[in-house]
Structure 1
Amino acid sequence: MILAATVTRPSFTGALFAGSALPVAIIVLIVLVVWYVAAIPMNAVLSQPLIDQAGGGLANTLSISWSLPRPVLPAPHQVMAELWNTVFTVAPWRPRSLLYHCWVTLSSTLLGFMLGTILGVALAIAIVHVKALNRSLMPWIIASQTIPILAIAPMIIVVLGSIGLTGLVPKSLISMYLCFFPVTIGMVKGLTSPDPMQLDLMRTYNADASQVLWKLRWPASVPFLFTSLKVAIAIALVGAIVGELPTGAQAGIGARLLNGSYYGQTQQIWAALVAAAVMSSGLVWLVGFIERQVARAMGAKP
């Protein structure tokens, strides 16, 4: 006699908590509430005379604090309105479009990310195969990240500008400088992750260094590589934005931040920050998507 097993399906609430949608929505809601509340005291210097003029009261306090033309801290709906006006109501090739500035920053981010990945992987392979470099080069790689990027970025811009390199290349090199470090560290860890018994087995097969690299070390390092790339792509975006600040650039997220600070347009500043955060999240998601496709191609179970 065969007894049929009863399958219990999770409840709707349980399914929500099991996924990430509900926790993320709760965090977003908490951030919005704190943001709206914080805007009231932050804007009090500008809003209080208008509130007193309107006769006071909670309704006047909220409406005035959340609708100032140049607030210290704009309310979330003001930032969303700025995003709508600069993304959907302006042609994307116009300098007033936020998409135009996002593309300028994104182009230098991707170029710097590609250069940083190539440099990081090359350094990791050299460090793993030449023991002297592990002792001599690795400390300098670590020490390079102790230099504040805000201090070194103007130097890079000035030096490269003196030899005629302006625009995309200096910003990309700043992104490369920031993002090669996690790639190098992650790949060194990944390339040295194979078990010693596996390395001994490759030597038993009389495999040379290149065969050990491509048939053993490289496949073992792929998870470490993509973990590092997720960090590197986000840092590369930060480097591209920082690279736009000392140049007085006319385009890019950094240029939007500078223009907003010059003219007191805090909505423009916050809209640029939100756009940068969305762009960074999208790039990290894209790297994760490529990671899943590569893992599936390598035979990993979904």
Structure 2
Amino acid sequence: MKSNTWTKKAFSLISLLIIVLAIWYLVALVMNSNQLINNLERKKQEWSYLQVFSQAYEVKRPMLPAPHQVAQELSRSILDKPITSKRSLIYHAQITLNSTLLGFVFGSILGILIAIGIVHNKTLEASLMPWVIASQTIPILAIAPIIVVVLGAINITGVVPKAIISMYLSFFPVTIAMVKGLRSSDRLLEELMHTYSATSKEIFWKLRWYSAQPYLFASLKVAIAVALVGAIVAELPTGAQGGLGSRLLSGSYYGQTEQIWVALIVATTLGSLLVWLVGLAENALLRRRGESTNA
């Protein structure tokens, strides 16, 4: 039964991949052909559709690179370069990963602390919660350069400014989920613990924290993803010398669309891996709690 399920999943995945690749090749053919025709007409050269179609996937700076061109650039950037080289995507991914993880840890801790304060203090909820929500209405592209410049003025550079931007994005989902989770504990169980003279600290650790754990891990999956986005965005407007954001920026400046696509693929893969690792931790926790998992 399980083998049939896996076969169906594999067939669906392969079918979807084939459809995506076919559409990708078709769109690349149309976009690159138009680009090639415009270049030939600008040079007042004669051309035919057969000639254009045969050269559409060989354009040096295509508007949309074909999948095989992206794969070749991916191989050159990862397999053909040493990890310590500034042309290696592994090198740049490591820089972005450092900022992501540091911002994720800071954001998670901050979100949990804010949620605990909101749940246990009505005044803090009324005064702080609107600001927590309002903080996410500010475009990150607007405040990222400000944060980097201000921290640079006091000689704080490198990973920390990018981590702060990641923290700014990642604390919000943790805060909202933990407020909901800490308030999801069974009221009858809470009253029962009161009858046994349980302290607020005991109620928190033995009941509220336990009830909030599923909410926490659900929010951590979102937080780790947006922390990666924050790290990449922080590298875009600051002229960073390393990181996936810097690769996207340099690719945009010099029209290297293959480089842009490869950086996007690596960023997507890195984000998926980080979310998967959080999911593994969640499954381990659920097994320890005696609950079923999706694995």
**Could you state the TM-score of these two structures normalised by the residue count of structure 1?**
0.91
- C-alpha separation between the residues in 1 aligned to 2:199 and 2:13? 49
2:151–2:161 Cα contact (<8 Å) kept: yes
Matches for 1:1-302 after TM superposition, within 5 Å: 9=1, 12=4, 15-17=6-8, 20-48=9-37, 55-57=48-50, 60-302=51-293
- Say what the alpha-carbon RMSD is for the aligned residues: 1.8
Number of equivalences: 289
**Could you state the TM-score of these two structures normalised by the residue count of structure 2?**
0.93
* Letter of the structure 2 residue corresponding to residue 75 of structure 1: A
* Letter of the structure 1 residue corresponding to residue 22 of structure 2: V
1:254 to partner: Cα distance: 0.7
For each residue in 1:31-51, what CA deviation from the matched residue of structure 2 results, as whole angstroms up to 9, or x when unmatched?
A: 222211111222233322669
- C-alpha separation between the residues in 2 aligned to 1:145 and 1:272? 26
* Letter of the structure 2 residue corresponding to residue 99 of structure 1: I
1:50–1:64 Cα contact (<8 Å) kept: no
1:141–1:181 Cα contact (<8 Å) kept: yes
* Letter of the structure 2 residue corresponding to residue 162 of structure 1: A
Identical-pair percentage = 54
- C-alpha separation between the residues in 2 aligned to 1:107 and 1:15? 35
* Letter of the structure 1 residue corresponding to residue 190 of structure 2: L
For each residue in 1:163-187, what CA deviation from the matched residue of structure 2 results, as whole angstroms up to 9, or x when unmatched?
A: 1111100000000000000000011
1:15 to partner: Cα distance: 4.7
Change (3 A) 1:171 1:10: closer
1:100 to partner: Cα distance: 0.2
- C-alpha separation between the residues in 2 aligned to 1:219 and 1:238? 30
Gaps of 5+ in 1: 1-8
1:61 to partner: Cα distance: 4.2
1:217 to partner: Cα distance: 0.6
- C-alpha separation between the residues in 1 aligned to 2:14 and 2:143? 39
Gaps of 5+ in 2: none
- C-alpha separation between the residues in 1 aligned to 2:12 and 2:203? 44
2:99–2:159 Cα contact (<8 Å) kept: yes
1:63 to partner: Cα distance: 3.5
SS of match in other structure, 1:137: helix
- C-alpha separation between the residues in 2 aligned to 1:15 and 1:104? 36
* Letter of the structure 1 residue corresponding to residue 108 of structure 2: T
